[in-house]
Structure formats: C-alpha cells, structure tokens
Amino acid sequence: MDSKKTILRLRTIPRLASLAGCVIILITVGFDMPVWFKNFSISLNLIVVYIGLISIFSRYFSKKSRPSFKVFDIDVIFTLYIITTLIMRLEGIDFPMLNFLRNDRWLNLAVILVLIRELFALRMNLKYKQVNTAQVFIFSFLIIILLGSFMLMLPNATTANISYLEALFTSTSAVCVTGLAVVDTATFFTPFGQGIILFLIQIGGLGILTFVSYFSYFFMGNASYESHMVLSEMTNNETLGEVFNTLKKIIIVTFSIELLGFMLIMQSIDNAVIPRFSERVFFSAFHSISSFCNAGFSTLSSGLYESTFKYNYTLHLIVAALIILGGIGFPIIFNLWRYIKNKIFNLFKLIVYKKRDTYRPWVLNLNSKIILMSTLMLILFGMIFIYILEYNNTLADHGMYGKIVTAFFGSVTTRTAGFNTVDMSALTLPTVMIFIFLMWIGASPASTGGGIKTSTMALALLNILSLAKGKERVEIYGREISQISINKAFTIIILSIIVISLSVFGLVIFDAEKGLMNLIFESVSAYSTVGLTRGITAELSNPGKIIIIATMFIGRVSMLTVLIAFVKKVAHKKYSYPTEEILIN
C-alpha cells in the first residue's frame, strides 16, 4: 500500500514541475523580466524537460501504468522532439537545418508538451449523478474565459493599458467565438496577445471538454462508465463505444481543415502586401482558425474590408469555404464523407465489374439532408437579396464577379462568422434586417457556430406547413420527425427571443443614443456569436458591455443548456393525464 502511495506521489512531481514551468514561461513572456530571471526560467525549463523524459520512459517499465499501444507513436513524437531540442542546446552541436531549435521558444514548447502529456495521463472521472453534462459544459467555458481575461491583462499582451472589463470582453468574445471587440485587435494587442486570442478561439470553437475528455482517454486507454455517459450526451452518440472515436475524428478533421485553409490562404496573399514570411504565416494561421471556428477575429483593423484585401476575392472564397465547413457541424461532415466514399465505391464497381447495386442504403441521413438543404437555401436567399439591395450601394465599386463574390461572402459571414468585406455602417435598412434574420438563425448543430441553428428553423417551418395542411405529423424525405424534436425547436426559438429582447431592453436603458436598430443588430450578433457590428461595440457604456458579455456567453452555451443545468429534474412518472385541447386561434 505504501509503495502505491509512493508511486502516486512520484507521479505528481512531473505534473507540478511542468505546471510551474508553464507559469514561469507565462511570467517571462508576459512581463519584462530581468536577465537573471530569464536565465533562471531557462534552467528550470531544462530540468522540467528532463523530468518529463524520465516520466514518459518510466511508464513503459510499469505494467500498471503502461500506456496503451495506440499512444506509443505520440510518445515517440514527443520524445524525439524533446531530445532533439535538448541536443541542439549543447555546445559544439551544429545542424544547420535544426539551428532554429536553439531559440528559447522551442524549449518552452517542450515544457508545454510535457504538461499536456502529464495532465492527460490523469484518469478522468466525471461524476455523472452529481454533476450533469450541462453544468460541466457551462463551467468549463466560464473557467477558460476567466483564465483568458487574466492572460490578456499581462503587460506584454497589449501595446497600451487595458482595463479588466475590456480583457473580459475580449476573452468572452474569443472563447464564445463571436468576434465583437471593444479594442482594435490589430493594433491594441501584441503578437503575444494575438496568440492568446487565437488559443482562446481554438479552445472555444471545439469546446475545452473535447480536448480534455478525448486526450484523457487517449493517454490512459480507458475511462469510467459515467465519463462515457457524459461524453455520449456531448457528442450526440447513442453508442458509448463510438464516443471517443467521434471526439478523435472531431480533432483530426478540425486540424486538417485548418491546415488546408492555412496553406490556401498563404498562397492567396501577395508577398508585396505582407513582405515578411513569419507575418504571412501568422496571418494565414490566425485567419484559418478564426474562419473555421466562425470567430470573426482578424489581425486587420478593418477586417477583410482593409484596402489591400478588399478585392482579394480568392481569399474571400477560401474564408467563406472555411466558415461553411465549420458551420455545418461535425456530424454532417462525417456523414458527407461517408456518402462520398460510398458514391466513389459504387462508381468503381460499375466501371470495373459492370455491376450496379440494386439496394441503395440510406447513407445520407435525415439530419444531413435537412441541414444541407437549409444551409444552401439560406446562403442563396441572403446572396440574392444582398446582391439586389446593395448593387448600387456597398457593391458599387466591384465588378460583376466581385459583386457576386461579395454578396455570397456577406450571406455566408452572417451565419455566425463575423468577417466583413463591406462597410457595415453603410448598408441599407432592408439589408440590415436580412442580416439580423440570417444572424439569428446562425449555423448548424454540433458546429463551431451559434444562433438558433438551421435545423431548428427548418423544423419550425415544417411544423407550420404541416398544420396548414391539416396533418397531425411532420414528415419529410420519407421520415416522421419526433415530437420531442419539434418541442425543442420551438423552445429554442422562444428562449432566443426572450434573451435577445432582454438584452436589447438593457442596452436601450444604458445606450439609447446609439439607435434602436444598431442595438438590436448588436444584441442579435452577440447572441448568435456572429461578431458583426454597426460600429458601436467600443462606444458602449460599461453596463452595456457587461450586457453584451452575458449575451455572448448565453448564446454560446444556449439558454436551454442553462435551464437544463440548474432546473431540478422531475422523475418520470408511470401515468398520464387525460388529454385536452386548448383554444389557440
């Protein structure tokens, strides 16, 4: 028993050491520290890295703590990187291709990798009966928002003093992938501060629990039954065995799409516009992640409306594609990929074996059909009306191709992305109303976007159509929609209207001079985590900023999730009362 306690205590050493190392790194980078402190931090980081190496190797010599085989390749990559970094810091070693590893930032990265490896080796044990999924989800966002706000307060994160309210607003906007800003991201934050914002966007876009839950399982090779249950609710998987496989796919798909977007954006930028290679890399990475996560943050003061990027239609189309992929939802991406593979396989059989399947399985499921059709219709609807209404207004200085691309981009970006390629304050009133409608609907379920979701609006319209036809059931594509889905759709719509109305009411009290339409636009943008603004965000009063912070947070986690988290559940009763109809119309 004593030996077990000793082993457990020894296991805490690399965790505490790497945590201390990361705190020291944050202090060193965030503050202007004296030379002796920087030298001390380097020495400490070297010790942490050596401890981390010993910890990784020691796990493979113990049967009880030995990681599963599938994590072996990850440990190999981590170990090779750490060892290479340490070797390159030795005197007399010279490998021109690896000399960049002599920079202290790569040693810092090694320390961070050690912390990741140690933290995710902890056994995950979520108490399903004591804490419900909604509470865990909400508190995870609250914690990361607060941590992000303190990180943005670091002196080296900004070029000027920042108040805590401004830091909290920026952190909330980044974690909730909104994009509304009270300060100019391009000029107010240093590259270090912009890096913090980018980190918060990535964590917020996927959800902090996606990372923690998956990697906890990945490095330990198991998780409790309660943890499986919590995660099955988070990922909408009915089969517990598929939960972690789904989380793995989410992370792989996210990073793969963002990497592809990064490379395409790099190719679309003229070297004369951003001469330095390192700046082009950061610009491309920032906008790829911000686009896929539907965040809307930009390192340009005027966003993509900046004069040097306003007519870069290739860049606009790349960003729009990333927004759409991030906004249709991971389940739809997985189902689409399966559908495409099935089509390719059937085509191969037809060409090679001259056989055509008589039985065609239901590959593209009902969710995918409804969401894809809704997304397409909304994009076309917005694009056509923006093109018509803004033809001689904000689209006037574009050619025909430019008008089409800009109208298309405007329709896409309102779906919770928040990038702008036109002057938002110059839009006609009908266009503003269309923007509000599209922002309110937002993206699709299980995506990086917000809003009431495309499927919610689709179900509401289908239900209205069924009632108009006198049908008792909602049917589409040869399937009947469950009543619980219809109930949830109308609940989400009503709750969104309540939250937005309360937000507008509060803003009218404190910022009435900004104009009612502008305040409505701001509230809907915040609730749907869009990030578009009519230029009043930075001018809001402190109470107004707090209202927008609360609206962004509720919009990200959804009001229905808040109610589920804190309203006491009623046990299911094995009886039912007689049914009566209530006069409605």
Q: Can you tell me the distance from the alpha carbon of 28 to that of 17, in angstroms, rounded to the nearest whole number?
A: 16
Q: Are residues 146 and 54 in the same domain?
A: no
pLDDT number for residue 286? 95
**pLDDT band per the 50, 70, 90 thresholds, residue 232:** low
Q: Are residues 178 and 285 in the same domain?
A: yes
Q: Are residues 186 and 246 in the same domain?
A: yes
Q: Are residues 218 and 155 in the same domain?
A: yes
Q: Of 119, 123, 3, whose CA–CA distance to 55 is shortest?
A: 119
Decide if 368 is inside a domain. Answer: no
Q: What is the Cα Rg of the chain in Å?
A: 26
Work out how many domains the chain is built from and give that number: 2
Decide if 265 is inside a domain. Answer: yes
Average pLDDT of the residues in 329-356: 80
Q: Are residues 50 and 145 in the same domain?
A: no
Query: For the chain, first and last CA: distance in Å?
Result: 72
pLDDT, tens only, 26-80: 888 888 888 888 888 888 888 988 888 888 888 777 666 666 666 677 778 888 8
Q: Are residues 209 and 99 in the same domain?
A: no
**pLDDT band per the 50, 70, 90 thresholds, residue 242:** low
Q: Are residues 103 and 244 in the same domain?
A: no
Decide if 374 is inside a domain. Answer: no
Contact present, 111 and 85 (Cβ < 8 Å):
no
Q: Of 185, 199, 156, 155, whose CA–CA distance to 537 is shortest?
A: 185
Choosing from 271, 288, 318, the residue where a domain stops is 318
Q: Can you tell me the distance from the alpha carbon of 533 to that of 418, in angstroms, rounded to the nearest whole number?
A: 8
pLDDT number for residue 174? 93
Decide if 229 is inside a domain. Answer: yes
Residue 251: CB atoms within 10 Å: 16
Q: Which helix (H) or strand (E) holds 504?
A: helix 483-511
Q: Are residues 262 and 115 in the same domain?
A: no
**pLDDT band per the 50, 70, 90 thresholds, residue 128:** very low
Choosing from 86, 119, 152, the residue where a domain stops is 119
pLDDT, tens only, 526-543: 999 998 998 899 999 999
pLDDT at residue 1 is higher than 50: no
Average pLDDT of the residues in 454-474: 89
Decide if 50 is inside a domain. Answer: yes
Of all residues in the chain, what percent carry a pLDDT higher than 70? Answer: 85
Decide if 73 is inside a domain. Answer: yes
Q: Can you tell me the distance from the alpha carbon of 228 to that of 217, in angstroms, rounded to the nearest whole number?
A: 10
pLDDT number for residue 223? 55
Average pLDDT of the residues in 377-403: 94
pLDDT at residue 315 is higher than 80: yes
Range of the domain at 52: 2-119
| Helix, coil or strand: residue 476 | strand
How long a stretch of residues is the chain? 585
Residue with tokens 């296991």: 11
Q: Are residues 190 and 59 in the same domain?
A: no
Decide if 225 is inside a domain. Answer: yes
pLDDT at residue 211 is higher than 70: no
Average pLDDT of the residues in 73-95: 81
pLDDT at residue 319 is higher than 70: yes
Average pLDDT of the residues in 201-223: 66
Instruction: Give bridge partners of residue 479 from the DSSP assignment.
Output: 476
Residue 397, exposed/middle/buried by CB under 10 A (0-12, 13-18, 19+)? exposed
pLDDT number for residue 320? 94
Q: Are residues 137 and 248 in the same domain?
A: yes
In the structure encoding, which two tokens stand for residue 375, read together?
Answer: 């997304």
pLDDT number for residue 227? 55
pLDDT at residue 491 is higher than 60: yes
Residue 185: CB atoms within 10 Å: 22
Choosing from 61, 86, 119, the residue where a domain stops is 119
Q: Are residues 172 and 109 in the same domain?
A: no
Q: Are residues 161 and 77 in the same domain?
A: no
pLDDT at residue 383 is higher than 90: yes
Decide if 352 is inside a domain. Answer: no
Q: Which residues contact 389 (CB under 8 A, 6 or more apart)?
A: 428, 430, 431, 434
